[in-house]
Amino acid sequence: MLLVDTYNVLHHPLALRELPHDSGPAELAALIAAGRHRRSRALLVCDGMPRNLGPVAHRDAELRFHVEGSELLYAGPGLDADSLIERLIEAESAPRRLTVVSSDRRLQRAGRRRKARIMPSHDFLGVLLRDADSAKQRWRRPTFTTEVPLSPMAIRYWKDLFKIDEADLPPEATQPARPMPTKKPEPAAPAEPVVEHAKPISPEPIDPVILEALREWRGRLSMDDLDMTKWLGD
């Protein structure tokens, strides 16, 4: 089990530099859920009580929440997390399976006395941030989720991703999708007859001697003058 000194982690310089400025216990729980510790039981211990809790803030007892697979444990009004973490370490029946996450020397000493594993906040944050970066690079949306209309596999994917319960959906959303109208193929136009055109006959090149004569006697000699039928007759 991970026993996390929540505010010690969130107030670490690495967290203040890398996490959004308003990050709280819920955001830390989400980071844990996205990384290698997502299958571990994580108990995030916090000072006092949650903000803006209304009348419940006057309770004297501890307060527990379940967020992103982790358990948030508030020490109670006016009480600190360190004292509660020490009591939890002492009460743990299998302390060798316990990982105490904190850079507080008091809590590290308490964990070592019970042979628990100690993980400083800096190391814990480094693991969470590396896992988050790897998940962003590794994750790709499956291609079947972009098909229209959605296939049964795609519908299950989106329902699981957003944790959608069919009981919360309006009636029209649970009706089977209507098939997309198909456009009737237009009749093909009759094929036009193929007309084979005779290849144009390229003119024979003019004899260079005749071409030179035409240039020399421009205006006095034409191609008609070179028609031998005029000169030879039949």
At 46-98, the pLDDT tens digits run 999 887 665 554 556 678 888 888 999 999 888 999 999 999 999 999 999 99
Please give the average per-residue pLDDT across 158-174, as a whole number. 65
pLDDT at residue 128 in the model: 94
Burial of 209 (0-12, 13-18, 19+ CB in 10 A): exposed
- pLDDT-derived band of residue 117, with 50, 70 and 90 as boundaries? very high
Please give the average per-residue pLDDT across 32-54, as a whole number. 86
Among 112, 63, 111, which Cα is nearest to 86's?
111
Please give the average per-residue pLDDT across 98-121, as a whole number. 97
pLDDT at residue 134 in the model: 83
- pLDDT-derived band of residue 196, with 50, 70 and 90 as boundaries? low
pLDDT at residue 195 in the model: 59
pLDDT at residue 145 in the model: 58
Among 52, 64, 60, 73, which Cα is nearest to 6's?
73
- pLDDT-derived band of residue 173, with 50, 70 and 90 as boundaries? low
Using DSSP, state whether 98 is helix, strand or coil: coil
Q: 38 vs 31, 34, 70, 98, CA distance in Å?
A: 9, 6, 8, 15
pLDDT at residue 57 in the model: 47
pLDDT at residue 215 in the model: 76
Q: Compare 111 and 143 and report the one with higher pLDDT.
A: 111
pLDDT of 159 higher than 80: no
pLDDT of 109 higher than 80: yes
Please give the average per-residue pLDDT across 16-43, as a whole number. 90
Please give the average per-residue pLDDT across 30-41, as a whole number. 91
Q: Which of 9-13, 33-37, 51-55 has the highest mean pLDDT?
A: 9-13
- pLDDT-derived band of residue 157, with 50, 70 and 90 as boundaries? low
Tell me, what DSSP letter sits at residue 233? -
Average pLDDT, the chain: 79
C-alpha span between 49 and 41 (Å, rounded): 22
What are the beta bridge partners of residue 43?
A: 3, 71
What are the beta bridge partners of residue 74?
A: 46, 63
Burial of 108 (0-12, 13-18, 19+ CB in 10 A): middle
